[in-house]
Every structure is written in structure tokens, then in C-alpha cells.
Structure 1
């Protein structure tokens, strides 16, 4: 982190040195300088800089002048930074450094509760997001029930906060569908409303919401209510073994029963085989025929496996369209015969939705335990690697795990970082490059403004892209770039993470309406933005 701090201070010094005594400095120049400091400093462990810049921005907004002399600016707006800008890097004040040990790890960020908020009131969304994020939640925003349902299905939040929608209003069916799915999965839904009508509150509770809160909402009270519901949810989920939709065992039960099965297999020197299933292009079923049709396919598929497996084989739903079958005392070759019987049965099954009919297929990966198998996680990971190979080499097939060197072709995601701040650009570039895995290759390119990005050969047809976009930039701002992206390129191929300063919450909600997939408010912790990028990369692979 110190190298970024040194580079940042050096850049500030160079920027200030461009002005000379006798120069006139405009409001826009002062604003951009302070905005850049405010947005970047805290993210690299210089909170004093960020705080000072924020205070000076407030002073600037109160001023009616449009121009200042060099002397006025240096002794006024830039005075908190002048002294440190002239110091050598080794003389950095200890008080401005944040030890690496105090920064949140990505795992800690991933462990935070994810809250989905759905409301058409843009000011309310902005205010509540800020308050809840200060209390440690990850907050996702949707400005309509339709978008909220889509985000719920993609992100699987821990809690949902939704505005009351009357039966005759747009989005009512989507709101009800979300509520039904959330309650079936024991995800608490808190409903909010500005209405004082007691009947609305009673109807909300009858529909299954966990809590009903009247506006104006106090973020501290909301946090207490959410934490209560989340604790209750955890207790419920820990006691549940079967998946509510399909009736098969849950992933949670796999962690206990699966370990027991593997222990027995190793003790008796038998083979426990894991067969992982993934329905091919299942998202297209939901998009084309609707989520109820998708649910029917999942239930039917689970039923087919249950009919064709042996009585002592164990079937688990891992989540979404992924299932795992544990076959005790069975070699991978024997398990493949069972899987192919399931494939034939599914291929002969025709699904009817209105006047349309369709068929589905699946890919499968199989791995068997050996005396070298350390734990259940290793066995499942090997089956997952084989499944990945099956999907990458054509789908609708079964692949057996062969050895630890088994590698499928990587999926490439093209990442574009657009920010006029050189230091922040460098930080984001370095962090994104660190996210490359055995399964994902990231092609990362950085641009200093929107025009440079749009003129570049950045778009690859039929490939996945992630654009990390700053809101405030010279020449062309982030909202203009976002608008062009959404009008010219397929939304399912291009995901957008927008970065903004603290004072632009309302504009960011506008960005969500224009089609941004997520946003972060500067200053942010580097690990926080890394976790958000990881989440979007994972979504792009679906």
C-alpha cells in the first residue's frame, strides 16, 4: 500500500507544480483536484487527506466565486496538502498509514450480510444504503420489483427490504414472486411503506413478510431488526436438511452426511464416487418460459435422478441448477453408467409451457475417492473440475476426473478500467490481475477517460466484459459512457461497476436506472472493491 501512497503524493505534487504564482485557478480545476483526493486517498490508507478534501469541497460549494488567485488557492483550498506534498516518501507520517493487517480480507468482505433494497424512492435508497454500509452490510439496490426479482435470483441476498406495492400497481406480480421465493428459502423480507393504513400492514404480514416498517426509517433500528431476522434465519437453516423446491438433500446436509460417507469408504477401503450435474443453458429456460417453468424443470430433474439412483445413493441440490449425487461403494466407471441412464431419461422428457415444448440436457463430472483423498471438499472439487471440462468441451456429456493436472480451457473475461486518476487506475489494475484463476483468465486494460475507451478496440463479440467506470471524468463523464454502452452493446455481455464520489448518491441511482450492475462510493477500501469485482465476475460466468 505504501508504494501507492508515495505515487499518489508524487502525482499531487506534480499537479500543483503546474500552477505558478500569478495564475488564475478556476472552480472546476479546484473541484477536480479535491474530488480526486477525496475519492482516492482513503482507499490507499490516507484518511486524513480524504477528510481534508471533503471539508474543502464543502467550503467550495458555499462559495459564489468562479476563479481564485494562485496565492488564495495554495493558502486556502490546497493548504492541508502542501506540506506533505513536499516531503520525501520515506518521511510519510505514521498516522496516515493503515497497516495491511487492519485491512479487511476478501473473505471477511464475502462473509458480510448482503442486503437487497427495492424502492422507487431514489433519495430513500441513497440514504439507507449509506447508513447500512457504514454498519457493515453489503447493499444492492433495485429501483423496480422486476429488477429486484432479477437481482434476487442472481445474487441470492441474505435479506430483502422492499417497498409495499399495491395489487393494481406495476411490479406487483414480480414483488409477490420475489416474496414467495424468499420465504420458501427462509430469506427474511422486510417491507417498508409510507402509508399509515393498518390494513396494508396486516396484508403485508399475511403475505409472509418478516417485518413491516413505516417510513421514515431509522437505519439503526433497521439494522437491529435485520440482525434479529438473520439470526433466526440461521437457526432455521441449520435445522433444515431438505431442499424445499426439489425435496432432495441440501448443501448444508452434504457437509455432515458427505463427510460421514467418505469416512466410511476410506475405513472400509471402498470407493465413494461423486457425480456433479449442471443443467445446460438453464438461464435460457427461465428467460424464455419464466421462472415457474424453470422450477418445474428442476423438480422434474431431481425426480428423474431419484427414480434412477439406487436406494442408498444420496442426492443433494448444491444451489440453482447444480446437483451432486454421492454413490457409495461405486467406481467412477460404474457411476457413469447410472449418469448415462439419467441422461437418456431426461432427453426423452418433453416439457410443455403453453403452446411451446422444449427439452433440456445436462453436463456431468465424476470423481472417485482414493486412499489419497484428504477430505470431502477435495472429492467434490475434483468432480467440479471434471464438470467444468464437460461444459467447456461441448456440454451434454459426462467427463471422468483423471488426475490433478486435468485442465480445461480457461474462460476469458475482458476487463476495462476507466478512471482519470492514475493511482486509482494502477491499484484497480493490480488487484484485478490478481484474480486470475485456473478457470478464469482476465484480459485487463486501463483507460484514462471515456473517449479513449470508446475509441479503442475493447469489445469482443460474444465474449464477456466487465467495465469499471468512474463517474466524474474530463471530456466525457461516466453516465455518458454508460448510456452509450447500454444503447450499443448487449447488456448480458457487458457488466458495469460504477465508482463515484460521496456527493453523487442520487446520480448513482440514476446510473442504476441506466443499467449499471453495481456501484461503489469513494473512498472505498481496496478489498471491498475487489470483492465486488469478484461477485460480478462470478455472475458473468453464469
Structure 2
């Protein structure tokens, strides 16, 4: 859930006040350390004091700018660079040291105030939205038969679809309620403007653009370019293969309404880590923050982050060292690591990235930039993870993973005294589809069934592609009679779908078998019973659902 803006701003303001209180202690400490540095009587002692000062100035440079103390952050950064130059010099000059000490005294005595209003994190795109059971789709198609067929087919997939033949009617509906997506025909001969011109103007009026899918008889470059400029996320030539269009809708909604991204922040600066956490949570991300790098293993295993944000300079274990520890574990190789540091030296940044890491973000960073950087990496990481752990054609669990879910739900059902149903589904005469219409058409049929199952089943249900045209569903806390009603409704909706290949329309059916957990059954026996019930449905004539004896 996205934190309300006023609550978020109140918490950010509180953190800013805490940081200001911290400055009241840290700035006098800088003056004391400058005095100790001035009194040091040998280069070795001077070097030790300077190393401590450099680390403190580095943290101050990053944190001050983030909390809005811009001048303080810039001053601390300049003094940090002076300290680094003195430490790196082959022959240290006392004049450089005197200049640094004078700068430290000057910095510690100045009065600093917040100079920069913090951005509202809610101006950034959210990683997900609150999901509704049924997505509302508005269709603008001037040909009644085509539009009505599209409406009915999308309704079979579980969408709340409404069809409009005129722009004026669609405008009136938009005034009452915004949809979750728009499907618009480019060619509207009876209108004063094209569908794309209307869509582009509409998107400009909205606070947040709607997912837009375009249908047209023209698939030339100029039309597709205009569609992209109007914000189109899908482009389909007539006659439209509606299951393909629905598959694109499914992908759009998966990105918009998916689970929040998980982000782990590792920073020994508690106020800074808290601030980053608040900003990212305000963008609807799940965030955990830890201040001790030694706790990394438990957080990585239990939280399973999709992005790790690391501070570079931490006592006891630096960011690059921690990144290398993470990379020692194969299970975390896919997790992007972003360094978040006040380090501006390109050579040091590249050194950190070469050891382990994927990106380097320099403090201070605006709220919008932080959210954008994390969002881009998390989105890419999830896509990669899904590509490796899920079936590439359907996005469902692979064979081994869905079988594991059967065992998990069986154990849970026995422990809780509930019933779970296991459903084996198979597309009837699938070989004929491939032989008659080609393998791409067969793939489209498989995707359509996968999307229909996703639409009609619950979030707690598990879905997997068991192999070829066969699917497996695990329905926890679902007695067999209830499972039968649900799966039979899906069977009917699937039979009502129409697929189009080179102008030829065809339909496909499915058969299914259902088994149910009990105290005397194992996971493998549960699967065998569902498979036998599926075979019985095939033997009885297909296009039906049977329960195991």
C-alpha cells in the first residue's frame, strides 16, 4: 500500500529534524578533530587523524545534501577532497594541511539551513497499484460486429469490457470512470479525427497515461511511429487475433499491478537509511534496512531482495567487500547491487564496480532519481528472474516448481485440516492445431489458456505448465465440488474463444481432471489421480471435467 503523501512528508520532516540535531553534535566534533590534527607532532599521527576526518567528511557530504543542507554538503565534499589529496601526496606540504584545518574550523562555525525543498516521491511512477478483481477495458471500434466480438471475447477472459462506436460516447464514459486500459481503432471514417490523434490528446489530459492498445488496417512504419508517440503499448492489424491482444493486456497489467519490488538497503548511517526507506516505500516498494553488514545473510535469505543498495564506506566492511561476499553465493548472482555513495572519483567508482556491483549512484540524490534508479534495476531483475524460473511461453511455473507446490499444499492442507484440489488440464486435439495452423498458432492457444487461468483463478492458487499443452493447477482450501465448478466455467470460456490465423477462425476445447487431498494420499498419488481423471475426461469425449474416484 502506498503511504499517504502527508504522512510520508511528516516522517521525512521528522528525519530532517533528527539530522539537524545530529549536526549540532557533529559540527563541534569537526572543530575538535581539527584542533587535534593541528596539535599532532608527526606525519603518522597527522595521517591517522586525517583518515578519521576524511571518513566523517565523506558521510557528511552525502547525508547533508540528501537532507537539503546543500552548502554544508558541498563544503564537506571540498574538504574531503583536500584531505584525500594530502593523504595521496608523496610529499605532504604543511601549507595544505593548514588550509584544511582552517576550512574545518570555518565549516564547523557556520550556521546552515535547509536550502532545497524535497521532492514529492509521489511525482514518480509507482511500481505497482492496488489490484482489482476485474480490469475495466474501453474499446473504441466503429464497426459494431468487430467491437462486440472483442467485448465478448475479453469478457470471457474475465475483463469488464465496454464497447463504443463513437468518440463522443467514449468521452462520456471517461467522464464517469476511467478504465484500466484502452483499445482504440486507428481508422474512424465518421469522425473528424483519427483514433490515434484522439488517443494522443486524451493521454495529454490525464494525470497518468492509460495503457493503450491500437488496432488498424495499416501497419506501415508511419502509423506505428504515430502509435508509439501516442503511448501505445500494443499494435495489432485487422483482423485482430483477440487472444493475442489479451496476452498483451496481461503483460501490461502484470507490470502495473505486480507485487511491489523488494529492496534491501545497507548503510551504517541510520538517518540516511531511514530516509531512503521512506522514499522508496512512498513509491510502493517493500524495503528493509540494515546498519550492520554482518547481518547480510539472514536478510538476503528471508527477505529475498530484488535490488541491494550499498553504502561504499562502512566501518569494518566496505561496500565493495560486502558486494563480493554477496557474489560468492550463486543464489544471489542475479540480484543487482547499486552503490550509493558520496564518492565522486571516477577511478574509485570503477574500481568498486569491477570488484562487484552493477551501478553507482552519487549522493546527494533526489527522491525521484533514487526511485527511478531502483525501479529500473528491480524491473530488469524481476524480468530476468521470471525468464529463468518460469516457462518462457506462458510465464507460469515450470514442471519441477509446480510439482513442488503440490507437495507444499498437501502438507499445508493436512496440517490445517482443510482440503486442496489438484487440477490437470490438457488442450484437446492440440496436434491438429499445430498441423493445421502452424506452431505459432499453437503457441498462441497455449498462451491464451494460461492467461485465462490466471484471470479466473485466485492469487493463492498455483499455476504451472506441466509439459507441452498440459497444465497443472493447485487450489488450496478448495473442495473438489467447488474446484469442479470453477474449472468447468474456465472450460466453457475457453471453448468460446476464437483464434484467427490468416483470416481463418477456429476454436479449441480442453479437458481436465481433478483430485483432492486426504490423509491417506501422497503428492505423487495426488498427481496420478488427477491424471487418471483427465484420461477419463478424454475417453468420455473430451471438452469436459472429471473428478477422481
Normalising by structure 2, what TM-score?
0.41
| Larger Rg over CA atoms | 2
Normalising by structure 1, what TM-score?
0.42
